[in-house]
Amino acid sequence: MSKLVTIYGGSGFVGRYVARRMAKEGWRVRVAVRNPNEAIFVKPYGVVGQVEPVLCNIRDDASVASVMQGADAVVNCVGILAESGKNKFDAVQHEGAERIARLAAKAGIERMVLVSAIGADEKSDSQYAVSKALGEQGVLAHMPNAMIVRPSIVFGPEDEFFNRFAAMSRMGPILPVVGAATKFQPVYVDDVAQAVVLGVLGKASGGVYELGGPEVHTFKDLMGEMLSVIRRRKLVVNIPFPVANVMAFSFSVAKVLSLGLVAPAITADQVRNLRRDNVVSDDAKTFADLGIAPTALESVLPEYLWRFRPSGQYDAIKESAKNLKA
């Protein structure tokens, strides 16, 4: 019988790409998610019965243990950018990651891969960064040979970064950003998935890998690249951090007053994260150590941002028509 991998958060942005690649490797894939009915789209990644979504609550020992029964490897792709209800940073990214490692070690599972993030630091003033760092420590405490990948900002067809700002660009003459000078090293989602798969297959050694794309850009430059792809002219305006903090506080108040119905556009914790560059460290293990050539941003963005162009899929036709002579 083929081997089995359990992917926690396997229907998420990164998780679905890992699931697809593992299915292509011939493994049986168990996709552990909160709402299996909303993860049915992962089934066609393999033959009938090869990829199955199952119910799992990462905050519960019994739930986590039940979905890893019989697994040869586990992958944790669970992560949140903002707290909501019981899904707090510490509960999901620290205790959740440690719980998976502890139970996997108890079950005799030898391989585990954790998807963390660049900037994970237990001394940070950001709860997000602290929870990621503590999660890494918890995993290594129980599974010292685990592979941890720390991607920079991840882009791809389902991302919540370029898609979000491209949608915002249709609303007015300006495009506001917080931390315009902050540097990022965008990494393609399938490149991250490829690195994770190498860890599951045992083709990559354990340890921490920081994953970034071939180029480093400031936030403002990334918005310029995106606007060029969607062929819109907007003024990219930087929002100073003090102003952003006031905005974040206002959004948090609105969330409380609306009983959670109004999701904040930005949180105070996200503002703190945007103060720091999100790039690969000089002394870190990277894609080069895995034998992976990262994909360039400009080769992928047009494939999924075309829908934000003024005329959508017909924009290129309209442009070519301008060159026709009467």
Q: Is the pLDDT of residue 230 over 80?
A: yes
pLDDT at residue 325 in the model? 58
- Sequential DSSP letters for 251-314: HHHHHHHTTT-S--SS-HHHHHHTTS-B---TTSB-HHHHT--PPPGGGTHHHHHGGGSTTGGG
Nearest-angstrom CA–CA distance, 28 and 159: 26
**Residues of the domain holding 89:** 4-158+185-214+278-295
pLDDT at residue 255 in the model? 86
Is 237 inside a domain boundary?
no
The CA radius of gyration of the chain, in Å to the nearest whole number, is: 21
Is 227 inside a domain boundary?
no
Is 240 inside a domain boundary?
no
Is 302 inside a domain boundary?
no
Q: What is the pLDDT of residues 190-220, one digit of tens each?
A: 999 999 999 999 999 999 999 999 999 999 9
Tally Cβ neighbours within 10 Å of residue 26: 11
pLDDT at residue 313 in the model? 75
Instruction: Give the pLDDT mean for 84-95.
Output: 92
Instruction: Give the pLDDT mean for 23-40.
Output: 96
Q: Is the pLDDT of residue 73 over 70?
A: yes
Is 178 inside a domain boundary?
no
Average pLDDT, the chain: 93
- The CA angle 203-212-76, to the nearest 5 degrees, is 55
pLDDT at residue 45 in the model? 96
Q: What is the pLDDT of residues 263-299, one digit of tens each?
A: 888 999 999 999 999 999 999 999 999 999 999 999 9
9: left (phi over 0), alpha (psi -120 to 50) or beta: left
The total domain count for the chain is: 1
Residue 92 tokens, joined: 């999901």
Q: Is the pLDDT of residue 312 over 90?
A: no
Is 17 inside a domain boundary?
yes
Instruction: Give the pLDDT mean for 159-180.
Output: 94
CATH number of the domain encompassing residue 25: 3.40.50.720
Q: Is the pLDDT of residue 304 over 60?
A: yes
Tally Cβ neighbours within 10 Å of residue 313: 9
User: Which DSSP category does 42 fall into?
Assistant: G
Q: Is the pLDDT of residue 67 over 90?
A: yes
Range of lowest pLDDT (161-165, 197-201, 287-291, 312-316): 312-316
Is 145 inside a domain boundary?
yes
* Closest among 53, 45, 73, 67 to 10, alpha carbons compared: 53
pLDDT at residue 207 in the model? 94
Q: In terms of DSSP bridges, do strands 187-188 and 28-33 run parallel, antiparallel, or are they unpaired?
A: unpaired
Instruction: Collapse the DSSP code of 207 into the 3-class scheme (helix H, G, I; strand E, B; otherwise coil) and give the result.
Output: strand
pLDDT at residue 1 in the model? 66
Instruction: Give the pLDDT mean for 82-103.
Output: 93
Residue 5 tokens, joined: 């991998």
Tally Cβ neighbours within 10 Å of residue 98: 21
Q: Is the pLDDT of residue 324 over 80?
A: no
Residue 178 tokens, joined: 């917080």
Long-range own/partner contacts, residues 22-28 (CB < 8 A, 24 or more apart): 22/197, 22/200, 23/50, 23/51, 25/197, 25/201, 26/2, 27/2, 27/3, 27/72, 27/200, 28/1, 28/2, 28/3, 28/4
User: Which DSSP category does 134 fall into?
Assistant: H
158 phi/psi in degrees, rounded to 5? -100, 15
pLDDT band at 307 (very low <50, low <70, confident <90, very high): very high
The amino acid sitting at 121 is D
pLDDT at residue 260 in the model? 79
Nearest-angstrom CA–CA distance, 126 and 272: 6
pTM for the predicted model, two decimal places: 0.93
